[in-house]
Amino acid sequence: MGDRKYFGTDGIRGRANTLPMTAEVALRVGLAAGRLFMSQDDRRHLVVIGKDTRLSGYMIEPALVAGFASVGMDVRTFGPIPTPGVAMMTRSMRADLGVMISASHNDYADNGIKLFGPDGYKLSDETELTIEAMMDQPLDQGLAPSARLGRVKRIDEAPARYIEIAKAAFPKSLSLQGLRIAVDCANGAAYRVAPTTLFELGAEVCAVGVSPNGTNINADCGSTHPHTLAAAVKEYRADIGIALDGDADRLIICDEKGQIVDGDQIMAMIGLDWARRGRLTGGGVVATVMSNLGLERVLKAQDLTLERTSVGDRYVMERMRGGGFNLGGEQSGHLILHDYATTGDGLMAALQVLAVMVESGRPMSELARQFDPVPQLLKNVRYTAGKPLEAATVKAAIADGEARLNGTGRLLVRPSGTEKLIRVMAEGDDEALVRAVVADVSAAVQAAG
């Protein structure tokens, strides 16, 4: 992946108005992706574009639109809508391509471009590399004749369609009547759709993070700052709290006491509930190498597997599709419910949690601890040059750490995809041993880097 010029692990992302997140790069994406996804037949081709609430969306969107329209592709823009909504609408409207303009949980100064194929799934690495190669071609190449330029329209009802799809995923026999729900929309893409969906299903909704101004997305709110949600739950005496991130593909839950529930506990809760109903497919759940050992153990106790992938929701999705799984996700709150969505969807996942809660009649605090997490410690070690993971001293320290944790835990050492950082993570039943192993491996990395 090191040879990529524009695309990272999740589309193109960077600080707005600096490379690669400039209007010119967005224009080039539109030109290249438009040409690639226009087949040779004579029909009109369509791309749909959604965004979150960042100020820079006003710069990126018109540049993308210009690129697509100039190669002859029709464009439909949705305005603010969650990432999973764009994936759904790409399929629903039979578009050839879907685009989401968002930097997810990053602060407002960043932005990003994510692409979805006609099937609603994120593009493969190979397709992204093909687009990347085409992006450096001259700007006047492959343009449509004047009469074949794309037409552009704003579609105002896209968020309403997403709300209806979300509501349909909640069991018909249940209602949120009598529940008070605090929801933090991170001043992001779900600021209207999430509170509306919960209200229409019967809940009393106390919404925070629903006043976007272009620069306050994820600012001290949303799934990356759950203390804001915890405070709202206590203030409104809510039965449960739901925090989404800027593009609403992540979910963090908070119980009625203000205690945070991470993605691992949510996966256990939904997975075990679905398994009891015979709804879980694939014989288990897909998660990443970062998920807690406790999740693996609680699933194993029910004869269910935990399949692990490298970090990134696209890799979780690939394994889910390959193995016929319908539930997967990340500890950070990216939860993929394949029966309903082709990418992580915070609102859909929240509705499944609410269904379990309503049906059981138990408070969230009782449901929230599906397992006792095994002590887990993550340390980020900065390095300046070279490849410290290839040093013999680092390899020896990792082998030694694995031997010490043998059978009671695990060690994971991996480079960050976006910064000069080595992430050292260990977990195990013996907390002191976990701390010692992380310290020893980190020291070896530091000495080598």
- Give the residue numbers marked as catalytic: 104
Could you give the CA distance from residue 394 to residue 348 in angstroms, rounded to a whole number? 42
Q: Is the pLDDT of residue 294 over 60?
A: yes
Does residue 304 sit in helix, strand or coil?
Answer: coil
In degrees and rounded to multiples of 5, residue 244 shows phi and psi of -110, 165
What per-residue confidence (pLDDT) applies to 3? 66
Q: What percent of the chain has pLDDT over 70?
A: 99
**Using alpha carbons only, what angle is made at residue 240 by residues 236 and 242, rounded to the nearest 5 degrees?**
100
CA atoms within 13 A on the CB side of 24: 8
Q: Record the tokens describing residue 327, joined without a space.
A: 């539930």
Nearest 5°: CA angle at 131, between 125 and 135? Answer: 140
pLDDT tens track for 136-169: 999 999 999 999 999 999 999 999 999 999 999 9
Q: Are strands 97-101 and 7-8 parallel, antiparallel or unpaired?
A: unpaired
Average pLDDT score over residue span 240-259: 97
pLDDT tens per residue, range 381-429: 999 878 899 999 999 999 999 999 987 899 999 988 767 899 999 999 9
Q: Is the pTM of this model over 0.95?
A: no
What pLDDT was estimated at residue 426? 96
The answer to whether the bond into 20 is cis (omega within 30° of 0) is yes
Strand arrangement of the beta sheet that strand 110-116 belongs to: 7-8, 11-15, 110-116, 97-101, 45-51, 73-80, 152-154
Q: CA–CA separation, 433 vs 280, rounded Å?
A: 36
